[in-house]
Structure 1
């Protein structure tokens, strides 16, 4: 590879680690923390910046493998960049929500802080404990990672003097997964329900708007699905149904997954909460626009039969702060 080409590739990979607006470095937890605190502080001056900063510190140590008792991030799709991307998207929707509501309908400083903390730790359940003898890779916890993350989140909040938030947090994190049907997540306050919709929406729109989403599905997500037992389904009669037989098969089924399950979840289950980012962008929605570009391009290359040929980016996972590929 020529030096100029290497420089161009390096520049493109750096670009891949920016958020959907190309303004925030998603390999830099302090940068995301500052952006989140600035966004939310404008809407509610009572926001607990110190608690949010502490959450980012613990999160960074957890993913880097320096938090006592934990291995660090091993999942290349559900990496640190994804968690930071989701947290930023959640903060943006929360800020837009507060802009759009009078005092009686606002989430308030406590919920704003809780929302970003749940978003930040929503995939912490993929990270193994040091004494783990059950699994050798974090992706093997795919089917149970939400509940595991809830336990870690509850511990963090209790340690930080917010044990009264822990029960809500354990319920809110389930809006990002499929371990509990959404209709079975019981929250007493409608504002907590709305907060869950924002967190769940952030998880979906951030990952699917990622500039390298398609390549990450190809290179990383299928492997996680294999390790987590999601590529096959065993029926009651003992027969085995193959859901995805390769990373290319997973990609080929992604347009239908988006048009069916994802859009229903976003528009109906989460009540189009993604629209709360629009006050921040003059009525535009950079996340939905990026998702539509990704899905449009994927459908185009599938129609042309050029899937192998036209997906040529090489994504780099972010397993620890500031270190793509670790």
Structure 2
């Protein structure tokens, strides 16, 4: 492990989460630890589909063009989910385990939880961020259509419900998931999505440089015309100022609220330390420091890369990153 965590690596600085090949290897190893004899063909197929979708080589789709919700974002979440469910199942009694079938399904949902940002060629919008407010429902549609193609058709409707645990389009209490084990799976998906992105080494810079333009594209940020309704985020720094209250709110209402603090099992992955929580807390401390600074850019000086369509294509031409 390097002394300083690399920008495109996970919280342990051991997996390049921008590279689908590296994440697939890590996820498959975790799943084999859960059940050595499990059929992992659907996972391999899902990673192939992921690469096709995000590089724009899946028929009918243009590829990823959203810098914040890029390939790295989803891959990071899929790895975090795999770690979380494996740690949970290792820590609880046999009767409480969710099992490898749910682990496989969860990995696939995590990979495609933001598929709704990827535009179809028939879409009228000129950027996937236009669909921010409806992207989870679009992701659900993608799962319904494509899970049968990778051997998980029997789970397609359940997946279309569970993906909503990663978003805010449908109130959690309104999600029709009566099976407690499936609902816990949803809690893990939501937890992994929230914590992996906010633990990103460049989370703050990505909010400023990548998320703000996405919010502008869908009308959630940017300056408005005279007489129009005021916007909460007229500029990037005003968006950055909401990172701490947003994180506190989701910690209270989701991570430690509706999701039942299931993130505590991350500590079982890392010798008693919750490396995701530690990285998040470090980011929030740096945000506070930057917002008090005369020159915030002197603190927010990391240079993240967006792994959208072309960048991902270029990465995949190289040898896998170690």
TM-score normalised by the chain length of structure 1: 0.90
Counterpart residue number, 1:200: 190
Counterpart residue number, 1:5: none
Counterpart residue number, 1:229: 219
Counterpart residue number, 2:320: none
Residues 206-229 of structure 1 show CA distances to partners (whole Å, capped at 9, x for unaligned) of: 110000000001101010011112
CA contact (8 A) 2:65 2:118 kept: yes
Residues 290-321 of structure 1 show CA distances to partners (whole Å, capped at 9, x for unaligned) of: 00000011112222343233211221111243
Greater CA drift, 13-22 or 100-109? 13-22
List alignment gaps of at least 5 residues for structure 2.
Answer: 318-322
Indicate the SS of the match to 1:313: coil
Q: Tell me if 1:154 matches 2:113.
A: no
Counterpart residue number, 2:242: 253
Q: Distance in 2 between matches of 1:253 and 1:160?
A: 40
1:88 to 79, 98, 103: 79
Q: How does 1:271-290 map to 2 (within 5 A)?
A: 271-290=260-279
Counterpart residue number, 1:268: 257
Counterpart residue number, 2:307: 318
Q: Distance in 2 between matches of 1:223 and 1:297?
A: 22
Kindly state the Cα deviation for residue 231 of structure 1 after the two structures are TM-superposed. 2.4
Q: How does 1:1-326 map to 2 (within 5 A)?
A: 15-132=6-123, 134-231=124-221, 240-320=229-309, 321=312, 323=314
Q: Distance in 2 between matches of 1:75 and 1:36?
A: 24
CA contact (8 A) 1:89 1:202 kept: yes
List alignment gaps of at least 5 residues for structure 1.
Answer: 1-10
Q: 1:322 to 1:128 in 2, by over 3 A?
A: closer
Q: 1:290 to 1:13 in 2, by over 3 A?
A: closer
Q: Distance in 1 between matches of 2:245 and 2:41?
A: 43
Indicate the SS of the match to 2:204: helix
TM-score normalised by the chain length of structure 2: 0.91
Indicate the SS of the match to 2:44: helix
Indicate the SS of the match to 1:71: coil
CA contact (8 A) 2:251 2:257 kept: no
Q: Distance in 1 between matches of 2:152 and 2:181?
A: 19
Kindly state the Cα deviation for residue 131 of structure 1 after the two structures are TM-superposed. 2.2
Q: Distance in 2 between matches of 1:293 and 1:210?
A: 10
Residues 261-282 of structure 1 show CA distances to partners (whole Å, capped at 9, x for unaligned) of: 3443111111111111111111
CA contact (8 A) 2:5 2:201 kept: no
Kindly state the Cα deviation for residue 162 of structure 1 after the two structures are TM-superposed. 2.4
Q: Distance in 1 between matches of 2:294 and 2:5?
A: 29
Kindly state the Cα deviation for residue 63 of structure 1 after the two structures are TM-superposed. 0.3
Residues 72-124 of structure 1 show CA distances to partners (whole Å, capped at 9, x for unaligned) of: 00000000000000000000001001101222111112101000000000000
Kindly state the Cα deviation for residue 239 of structure 1 after the two structures are TM-superposed. 6.7
Q: Distance in 2 between matches of 1:103 and 1:12?
A: 38
Indicate the SS of the match to 1:47: coil
Q: Distance in 2 between matches of 1:66 and 1:322?
A: 10
Counterpart residue number, 1:4: none
Q: 1:12 to 1:283 in 2, by over 3 A?
A: closer
CA contact (8 A) 2:9 2:15 kept: yes
* Deviation >3 Å, runs of 4+: 11-14, 320-324
Q: RMSD across aligned C-alpha pairs, in angstroms?
A: 2.3
Size of the aligned set, in residue pairs, is 312
Indicate the SS of the match to 1:281: coil
